[in-house]
Amino acid sequence: MNQIFSTDGISQPDRTHVGDLRRVRANPGFWYPVAWSRELKPGKTIGVRYAGQPIALVRPHEGAVFALEDRCAHRQVPLSKGQVKGQSVQCCYHGWAYGRSGRCIDVPYLGKGKLPNGVRTYPCREQDGLIFVFPGDPARAGDMPLPPLAQAANPHYKTRRFGRHVKCHYSFMHENLMDMNHQFMHMKQMGQMKPRFLGQDRGPGMVEARYSFARTGGRQPLGEALVFGQKRDNSARFAHRDVMTIRTEYPYQTLRIQTGDEPPVMDLWIVYVPQDDAQMTNRVFGLLSIKRPKIPGLLDAAWPFLVAFTERIFREDREIVELEQAAWDAQGGDHNQEVFPVICALRALLAECGIPADA
C-alpha cells in the first residue's frame, strides 16, 4: 500500500455522501472580499457581485465604505452608475438618493413625507487593501471576525495582491490547490518535482494537508528560488526539508512553506468568491506574502520575475479548473472518481459547511 494512505490510516477513499459538490452553494455567513480597495476611489461607487447579488460599494469623500444592493428601488437600474453625494448615492436615472442605511432619503420630484422604501444593505469592512461584505444574516456579522490575511500587515514580508475571474465552481479551486499531485501539470514551469504527502488534519471547519517535495529533474526556476530566498541544492540530502501546508479554513484557503520552526518563507491567503447565482464562476482574491531576504531591495528588484512566474502557474491552474467545469456542464453532474483521501476529506468539508442546492 502506498504511503499516502498509511500516514493517516485511511485506506479507502471516502467518496462520500456529498451529493453533487458543484451544486453546493457557498455559505453566506462569512466575510467575503468583493473588491480591492484601490478599485474604489473616494467619492465614487462601483458595482460588484456576490453569488448573483449585485452590490454597490460606495466610498464617500469622508467616512468608511458602505455597501448597498445595487438596484435602485424605483426601476432596478444599478446604483453604482449613480453619483456619490456626501454620505449618500443618487441614482443616475431619476435621481433617487439613498443613505448609508439603504433608506431612500430623496426623490427630487416627490414630497419628503412620501418617500418610498429603500434598498438592502450589507455589513461592510475594509482591511489590508480588501473590501469585505457579509452576505449572510447581518445580525451575525458582528460576531464573525475577519480572517487573518497572510502577512499583508507584516513589514518583514512583501505581499502581492492578485486575482481574476475563473469560470468554475469555487470547490474546484479548493481541490486544485490542496491536491499537490497536480504539480505534474506545472512541470514546464517548475521542473520535475515529486511531492510526498506527509499527513492531514481535520478539525471543525478545517482540513489541512502537508507535503514535502524533492526535485527529480529539471532546474529550479528563478521564480521559485525567489520564494525560498536562495538556490536549493538539488541533491537528495536537502530534499524534503521544506514543508508545504495547505489548509482550507472554510471558506478561505492558505498555503504556507516553512522550514522547521522558522517563519514561513511564503504565506498565501486566497478565497474564491462566487459571482453568478448558480455559483459556477468565481472571482479570486489572493494575497501572496514572500519573506524579505536579508539583502535589502533584492526582493523588490526580483519582483517582476516572481509576478510573471506566479502568473504562468495561475494560468495553467485556471485553464484546468475551467476544463473541469466544462466537463461538469457537459455531463450535467459530478463524475469525479476521487481517490486521494485528503481531497475526499476536503470535499466533505465543503459540502458540510456550504448550503445544499435544495436548501
Nearest approach in angstroms of CB 324 to a second copy is 6
- Nearest to a second copy of 309, 328 (CB atom): 328
Nearest approach in angstroms of CB 184 to a second copy is 4
Q: Is 2 in the site for a second copy (CB under 8 A)?
A: yes
Task: Map the footprint of a second copy across residues 62-91, applying CB under 8 A.
Answer: 71, 73-78, 81
All cell numbers assigned to 183: 504539480
Q: Is 282 in the site for a second copy (CB under 8 A)?
A: no
The Cα–Cα gap between 58 and 159 comes to 26
Q: Which stretch binds a second copy (CB under 8 A): 128-136, 137-145, 331-339, 350-358?
A: 331-339
- Nearest to a second copy of 110, 301 (CB atom): 110
- Nearest to a second copy of 184, 238 (CB atom): 184
- Nearest to a second copy of 230, 331 (CB atom): 331
Task: State residue 328 phi and psi, 5-degree precision.
Answer: -60, -45
- Nearest to a second copy of 151, 281 (CB atom): 281
Q: Which stretch binds a second copy (CB under 8 A): 29-37, 199-207, 267-275, 321-329?
A: 321-329
In this structure, the number of other CB atoms found within 10 A of the CB of residue 236 comes to 10
Task: Map the footprint of a second copy across residues 14-53, applying CB under 8 A.
Answer: 52
∠ CA 131-292-263, rounded to 5°: 85
Q: For 3, how many CA atoms within 13 A lie in the half-sphere containing its CB?
A: 6
Task: Map the footprint of a second copy across residues 173-232, applying CB under 8 A.
Answer: 179, 181-182, 184-185, 195, 197
Rounded-to-10 torsion of CA 107, 113, 114, 116: 70
Sites of contact with a second copy (CB under 8 A) = 1-2, 4-5, 52, 54, 71, 73-78, 81, 92-95, 107-111, 113-114, 116-117, 179, 181-182, 184-185, 195, 197, 320, 323-324, 327-328, 330-331, 335-340
